Amino acid sequence: MTVEIRKRQVGVTDRWIIEAVDGKQVRNELDIDFALAGNPAVKKYIPPDQLWVEMMSDKTEWPCFIVHEDWEDGRVDQGMPYEVAHEEANVLERLCRQGKMELTVFRPG
């Protein structure tokens, strides 16, 4: 069974198409553990060129979610265990939230 998730493109990076998705629909129909964002290395149902963000989340947080998901995806793809990649991504996301990282990768649109 194929599920068509309600989503809309909200930005791009050099590597990704950023899609805002109906998180409630994702949780109800695909993955009860989907929270604020996801990447295809961890969430196999996400297309390989996309990062997903929960459309109902605060848009000002999206750049930090993208930093997290991009890093985590790359490390898991390189063979790092998810738990380790997730902790590394949390460090970068925290720096983003503290304004200690320059965010030039996310272009809305």
Domain contains 76: yes
What is the distance between the alpha carbons of residues 63 and 107, in angstroms, rounded to a whole number?
9
- By the 10 Å C-beta count (0-12 exposed, 13-18 middle, 19+ buried), 57 is classed as middle
Domain contains 108: no
Is 5's pLDDT higher than 90? yes
CB atoms within 10 A of CB 63: 22
Domain contains 2: no
Domain contains 30: yes
Q: Give the residue among 101, 105, 104, 84 at the shortest CA–CA distance from 42.
A: 84
Domain contains 33: yes
Contact 103, 67 (CB under 8 A): yes
Residue 30 belongs to what domain range? 7-103
Residue type, 4: E
Model pLDDT for residues 40-64, shown as the tens digit of each residue: 999 999 999 999 999 999 999 999 9
pLDDT value of position 70? 95
